[in-house]
Structure 1
């Protein structure tokens, strides 16, 4: 049986290599935030008559600030943000001391609830817009290609370690014949513990440049200390503690010695659930609309995967080559029931996860997350086909060569499934809304129009067919509010044959007027605004607003 065992081991290594290669060849896409900026105050592109005392950012889910990564720069690129930003759930408030007129830049980088960075920048103006010199804050740095490539590989290694550990401990505890040596399974288990530990430590290291934007070596003691104080860092530290305790408790089980195996099994079962939950608490489920349900479902999903694939590895590499025919006849039916239960749990939890993370059926096709999920489901279906064929051989005597080939096929396919899963956790769920438009306010259009005697800031809300509200602010060339004696405005859609429609305007203050108009059709609407600022001074400006 020695050569058979060697062949089986080679098959496992080949399967793991396939998954590793897939993770390596997966394109390293830009770090994609799983939260988006929903709105800001001031909004992007706004021209304010007076400088704000606070800048507020509102995201689609709760976030955590990164030290020195939220900045407000004045027209001369000097920082005007004061102290540390205040974070309350999904809202970030920045105290500013903005004394100059001109265009200000807000640059932000925060971490979403599922540990992914959210970065961006926008401008607003005080008095009147001004020219700005270029600054790195206009395009917040993202993690290097090496960091973004290493992250899914590290996660994949952690999954492999998890299945090796769970499979070895489970089979040794419940199915391993007493007469066989436990040295081989013990080596697999300790290899699994080592992979989980290495993956967790590497994940802690990589999270620093991933969130702050940098290279593989851009993780100093200060940044690591800050990370450990976050939820993500705490969860990964708990995983390391769980692994350390599990190694100690698993020793008598792996060696078959000791009088407290039952107690150790019970404690290990509890530790396993805690350890599995750390993957869920540091990923998408933590930011789910129903986080408690998502964390429980994801933990069960990961556990079922570890039981199924971990058991397959043990069967293929060690148990089938070493067990006698009579032992195989006793073991394989039991394993078949375990595998069926694990697959049923995978199917149920997978469906629930999809309903939460996908949101709509069309998102399965239109989103990257949905397409990856479909690819994962197709691979799982292939693995289940191989498993169904394998079950047909369970009651046969002999023919273990065919059975091993079928199980090897399952291992190869599911190793690739792990690689796809490693990429999937880096991809924004389909439920995540797209980033807000450049205006910084969803469903709103803002433009600043120029005339030789004035500038006019125009806001159209919600910039959709139906009733729309207009806000008009007039400023003198020096940026000061400009009193307007008379306002007139029209809107037309020539492409649809709609002639200019007069917009009734109500004067609110000397330089502010509002109006309301019903826009019946989608298209590029042409607005014309005429401002009379004295008995003899009058000017007209035009603008095109896309109405959806």
Structure 2
């Protein structure tokens, strides 16, 4: 009766841990960012005014991207399509060809692409030809992600991680540590369950990637959209994983039955296991890392160590500590203890390297959602390590062999905590790492200040780039009130920062065309600068207009 009560408590603890893990998974998608690439530059620049219509638009991202069919366009001021032909991608550079002879006014560039780590990146920017106007409205919502799809993606990843745990570790224990006298029926069910979960999560990932990529609902999936996903890098990796699973299933049947098992089959299963593990980092953050090759290998090691350790614990707590006798346990537990120590060491080292690559700074560790989840994961891992250390002491003292109940209790606690760790891990893959946020921040701070100054007789467009301390370029454009180019005979300008006692600095301006002038000025300090520009249109007519701009 006491044993049954304990088993129930252990089962409840494990179930509670799994529920907490799933709860954290569902919380993960609520994080602020899902796009893991950042638009860092564009030509023409966002918000700038160019004198002549360009023949192409170039967008530059912080990592390589892939196109989404029909989700890149440029709209003219009248709402018509200004792009012509198919856009092209070269690494992180997206080029959109434009129709010749574009009219004056503001153009809207809207885009939705897939970043290297399989997340959609959407948004829109504007530029103007000649003069600014009311921007057109795009019918495409380029940043939309269906909330149901967003929530299901980490759930699918969680199921995949659980499947790996139930597949890799148990298969290894069954191949190398399982006593011949014990039935393989229970472990076989565990392994087939793991196989099924990995397969289901893979099919689920393929299906969800379609609405995730194009921004539609869960069941708004067309054959063409599915074909596009299968033809992408993400789809190719998923198809490889399915192929590996099918090949492994053929080899597992004789292995699990204990009949016809051979060393060649076991070696092939090992190769297939490595290939399967490699498919996880090939569709995640590691592929977009600054050191992608290192990150992919490290992530695969991390997954392998996790699968061996936790899968071995499942076999230990679920079968061996219940069914093996004292003599068998005396042979199995020391070997398992060394395996666990090696796996945990690899897990820690790989996790630290991953965190260093993705977080990149202490500020990112403490002041970002990704960094804080890393800290939560590290704290939980430390708790598990403490429990594992205690279980290793039991194994070394030989107490676990004579009385395995205590070790079973400890294994149950380890599995309950690691269920939560898996939940945090599944949430992490949906959150942009700090290095991406830093790239986006750098892009946003290196932007052009654009203002239109007006009077009764003229409109003056002012562009200041990069609006930062140091050397800045200034472009001035003059127009009549009805938005036609206005001839300016002479331009003059000054810049002052009264809050810091900086008197007006003369801005040397060069007349480029009848209505366009450029100049360069070194701004020595950050703050709210006051700019005054005078445009002389005849011997007796001139206008002086004033603006303020924040220089960072």
Unaligned runs of 5+ in 2: none
Partner of 2:61: 59
- Matched residues in 1 for 2:15 and 2:181: separation? 27
1:241 lines up with 2:243 in the alignment: yes
SS of 2:221's partner is coil
After superposition, the C-alpha distances for 1:122-154 in whole angstroms (9 at most, x for unaligned) are 1122222222464444x5241111111111110
Structure 2 counterparts to residues 344-359 of structure 1, below 5 A: 344-359=345-360
Q: 1:515 aligns with which of 519, 526, 533?
A: 519
SS of 2:336's partner is helix
SS of 1:310's partner is helix
1:425 lines up with 2:429 in the alignment: yes
Deviates more, 1:490-499 or 1:333-342: 490-499
- Matched residues in 2 for 1:319 and 1:46: separation? 69
Q: CA deviation at 1:406?
A: 1.1
Specify whether residues 437 and 188 from structure 1 end up closer, same or farther in structure 2 by C-alpha distance, changes over 3 A only: closer
- Matched residues in 1 for 2:445 and 2:498: separation? 27
- Matched residues in 1 for 2:195 and 2:73: separation? 42
Partner of 1:267: 268
- Matched residues in 1 for 2:425 and 2:268: separation? 29
1:404 lines up with 2:408 in the alignment: yes
1:546 lines up with 2:547 in the alignment: no
Q: Tell whether the 8 Å contact from 2:106 to 2:136 is kept in structure 1 after alignment.
A: no
SS of 1:393's partner is helix
Partner of 2:304: 303
Partner of 1:223: 225
Specify whether residues 211 and 477 from structure 1 end up closer, same or farther in structure 2 by C-alpha distance, changes over 3 A only: same
SS of 2:63's partner is coil
Partner of 2:132: 129
Q: Tell whether the 8 Å contact from 1:31 to 1:117 is kept in structure 2 after alignment.
A: no
Q: CA deviation at 1:437?
A: 7.2
After superposition, the C-alpha distances for 1:396-447 in whole angstroms (9 at most, x for unaligned) are 1434222111111111111111110101111112221446579978253233
1:99 lines up with 2:107 in the alignment: no
Q: Tell whether the 8 Å contact from 1:458 to 1:471 is kept in structure 2 after alignment.
A: yes
Q: 2:468 aligns with which of 460, 464, 476?
A: 464
Deviates more, 1:44-53 or 1:142-151: 44-53
Structure 2 counterparts to residues 90-239 of structure 1, below 5 A: 90-97=92-99, 99-132=102-135, 134-137=137-140, 139-239=141-241
Partner of 1:77: 79
Partner of 1:286: 287
Partner of 1:530: 534
Deviates more, 1:470-479 or 1:194-203: 470-479
SS of 1:67's partner is strand
Specify whether residues 502 and 299 from structure 1 end up closer, same or farther in structure 2 by C-alpha distance, changes over 3 A only: same
SS of 1:70's partner is strand
Specify whether residues 436 and 328 from structure 1 end up closer, same or farther in structure 2 by C-alpha distance, changes over 3 A only: closer
After superposition, the C-alpha distances for 1:485-505 in whole angstroms (9 at most, x for unaligned) are 111111122222333222222
- Matched residues in 2 for 1:490 and 1:22: separation? 56
- Matched residues in 1 for 2:95 and 2:484: separation? 27
Normalised by the size of structure 2, how large is the TM-score?
0.94
- Matched residues in 2 for 1:411 and 1:87: separation? 45
Q: CA deviation at 1:463?
A: 1.9
Partner of 1:312: 313
Instruction: Kindly report the root-mean-square deviation, in angstroms, between the aligned alpha carbons of the 2 structures.
Output: 2.2
Structure 2 counterparts to residues 482-521 of structure 1, below 5 A: 482-521=486-525
Q: Tell whether the 8 Å contact from 2:10 to 2:409 is kept in structure 1 after alignment.
A: no
After superposition, the C-alpha distances for 1:228-282 in whole angstroms (9 at most, x for unaligned) are 0000000001001111111111112211111x42111101111111100000100
- Matched residues in 1 for 2:437 and 2:265: separation? 46
Specify whether residues 281 and 528 from structure 1 end up closer, same or farther in structure 2 by C-alpha distance, changes over 3 A only: same
- Matched residues in 1 for 2:453 and 2:75: separation? 24
